[in-house]
Structure 1
């Protein structure tokens, strides 16, 4: 059992441990803010179309500053960049508190502040990820990645649940202020880091540096394949846009949402947390490329199973089928966590340090952009053929897509830890 539980060896490193424990607090605060922004927009407008604008105002800075932030992480001291972006994140949370406390009720001010916050986040995340290989030996990176992802998924469960409880009790303004206070923990952990200056040749953090990162990626088949398989999984196999309709039409939730909707949204994160808790075996896996392929195929199979259960329930099956649907989603979340841990480990070990920040920026863009494209495709497919067909059909396309990737990237399937294949 001890060999199955998460490997906590990286926590023996004081710098990593401070970052990790601070992350437990700040991720929960960030996830509460994720609920607070759309909730405040809905309160102001009573219009879901305005709420949907958070996707545009969040994705654009995430793409632009994610790529540029990766270039910055390769061009300057990463500790200094983390301090700047952590202060920026806290500052925007304070401004969000101020506009809510003042009762401005201006949706455009709120969206612009949200966009600025996402820009700081987009620079912070690739920098934070690029720091890990400078703190830990290569053999501990898989375990460290798993620990970090477990915290993120735990926050995705605890943050929204806490927000739902706290908003009626303390109000939205105080929720924003709590996010700012929680960020002090990260600032403390970052300030305590040693200087982490760039290694090797330092490129100016401009468009040329970003393009150099893409050129480098095009020549690294292992890393390129890791991005492609993730896009396949998230674009074709992420059915979250279907959850409101499935919760209402299939399982009887109110139109405004209810218990089933919350359970469906939480299911993948619950699975991911369980996958992280029992991740002690991950560092012992040598053929990480093959492991990613298997995990993504299982993710596709889980989405096929989810779609079949929805079809069964639509056809008059028991209302208890919701728990079988949740089980498929949770299983999908668990294998996705394993896949993500291996892909992030590959990125941190295969990429050279002078390119690591830029490739982490691409990683953030792929991870954030893929599911948003998937939302559009699943919504259109559900409108044309129904939610069950959209979910199950997406899972089938994932399996087909990953099979094509095996043919297109044989070096990825053969990849072993510590051996770079181009």
Structure 2
């Protein structure tokens, strides 16, 4: 295999100038989003000194996506996706401007800040399924996985850079400037999508309201490959997501060293960036279902071994492996969803995928925290990893299409 085929497949950047422009706009917008995430947490903590209120920030971000996501997907499947995305981007930018205004004035109750966060998240819930159609509509089928990998590695890199940059800017300029920079980042996202052609649904548009949502759910229930992909991701995150356990495991195993704790999340992000940067051979494979199952299984196994690790460096190495496996699984899952779903249903199915991606880790953190409270962090980690392995094995056995021909990009 040539060296060029080992690294991230960049063919989409050469073949589609529109995709290239979208990627730049999306990357800057994701950077702004991570800056705002840190800024909101900092502001709410500064206003309240309460972990209950800082926990409410996550609730304000997640609830609109869960509540409105499927209905937003049904609406997207009735409209020009380009127009919907542009409108959602403007809405998110306006929310960031309002957050900046209250950040400069400093006379707004914490409930109003969370309200703006929730409204911005609702616009995001509308924009996400609209954006879900862009990659499969702009790129040849054999480049969809590569396009998704490029999106993913850009997001992982911004997850590294965004929080650190926010910390520097908060210390020097305050919260208002951080919010204002996020608003400006949406301007680049708007520019990236403005040059898109009209993207109405191909095929019969979604029915209005609840009927359209139910049509999307019937597709998910009946399409074994797409359903299996989403179940695999949901099972892996709900059963074994480890982030809420990090402080306890750090105290139990690694002497409660804050430097170790700070490296846990960085290690997973490093694994994700590395795996995506070397994803060329995997995104060129015609069997994303098999790659996804292997990635999810490796994620579970790495967490079991992390639960057994007593050396901080071996523990961090296992988290790098877990992050790499997760990134591989996520890119493969998205490839399955976006290549196996009819365009007329893609908004609703992308919305369901976004809900799984948001709700799964949150529920996994709750599961891990409760079980660790009853037992220990080590027990919660090991049992979660084992349950993940069993769940992935069950999906593999009951959905052989993921392993076989129907899981191929060129399959039936």
Q: Same fold (TM over 0.5)?
A: yes
Give distance in 1, aligned partners of 2:169 and 2:259.
17
- Aligned runs of 1:42-57 on 2, under 5 Å? 42-57=45-60
Matched, 1:126 2:116: no
2:142 and 2:409 in contact (8 A); partners too? no
Structure-2 residue corresponding to 1:262:
262
> For 1:251 and 1:355, how far apart are their aligned partners in 2?
48
Alpha-carbon contact 1:146-1:276 (below 8 Å) kept: yes
Residues of 1 paired with 2:335 and 2:69: CA distance? 19
2:409 matched residue in structure 1:
417
Mean Cα deviation higher: 157-166 or 374-383: 157-166
- 1:68/1:205 contact within 8 Å kept: no
Whole-angstrom distance in 2 between the partners of 1:19 and 1:189: 4
Please, which of 6, 10, 14 is the counterpart of residue 8 of structure 1?
10
Deviation at 1:284, TM superposition (A): 2.6
The within-5 A match list for 1:234-273 is 234-253=237-256, 258-273=258-273
User: Is 2:95 the counterpart of 1:114?
Assistant: no
Counterpart CA distance in 2 for 1:15 and 1:120 is 23
Which residue matches 1:63? 66
What are the equivalent positions in structure 2 for 1:189-268 lying under 5 Å apart? 189-253=192-256, 258-268=258-268
Q: TM-score, normalised by structure 1?
A: 0.93
What does residue range 269-348 of structure 1 map to in structure 2 within 5 Å?
A: 269-309=269-309, 312=310, 321-348=311-338
Q: What TM-score, normalized by structure 2, do the two folds share?
A: 0.96
Question: C-alpha distance in 1, partners of 2:39/2:279?
Answer: 32
Superposition deviation, residue 126 in structure 1: 1.7
Deviation at 1:249, TM superposition (A): 4.9
Aligned-partner SS, 2:123: helix
How far apart, in 1, do the equivalents of 2:261 and 2:52 lie?
19
Q: What runs of 5+ residues in structure 2 fail to find an aligned partner?
A: none
- Structure 2 residue corresponding to 1:370, chosen from 345, 360, 371: 360
CA contact (8 A) 1:75 1:198 kept: yes
Q: CA RMSD in A?
A: 1.4
Kindly indicate whether the alpha-carbon contact (under 8 Å) linking 2:300 and 2:389 is maintained by their aligned counterparts in 1: yes
CA distance in 2, matches of 1:214, 1:86: 27
* Secondary structure, counterpart of 1:2 in structure 2: helix
**In 1, Cα distance between the equivalents of 2:174 and 2:244?**
28
Structure 1 contact 290–412 (Cα < 8 Å) conserved: yes
1:44/1:105 contact within 8 Å kept:
no
2:5 is paired with a residue whose SS is coil
Q: In 2, distance between residues paired with 1:248 and 1:305?
A: 17
1:275 CA drift (Å):
0.9
Query: Which sections of structure 1, spanning at least 5 residues, go unmatched?
Result: 313-320
Please say if residues 18 and 195 of structure 2, whose CA atoms lie closer than 8 Å, have aligned partners that are also in contact.
yes
Following superposition, the deviation at residue 253 of structure 1 comes to 4.6
Task: Indicate whether 1:148 and 2:151 are aligned.
Answer: yes
Give 1:293 shift.
1.2
1:149–1:341 contact (8 Å) kept in structure 2: yes
Q: Deviations over 1:16-62 (max 9, x none)?
A: 00011112211111101111111111111101011111222222101
CA contact (8 A) 1:143 1:282 kept: no
Distance (whole Å) between structure 2 residues aligned to residue 6 and residue 90 of structure 1: 31
Q: Is the 8 A contact 1:73 1:130 kept in 2?
A: no
Q: Could you tell which deviates more after superposition, 322-331 or 143-152?
A: 322-331
Give how far 1:252 is off. Answer: 4.1
For residues 250 and 113 of structure 1, what CA distance do their matches in structure 2 show?
40
How many residues are paired up? 407
1:407 equivalent to 2:401? Answer no
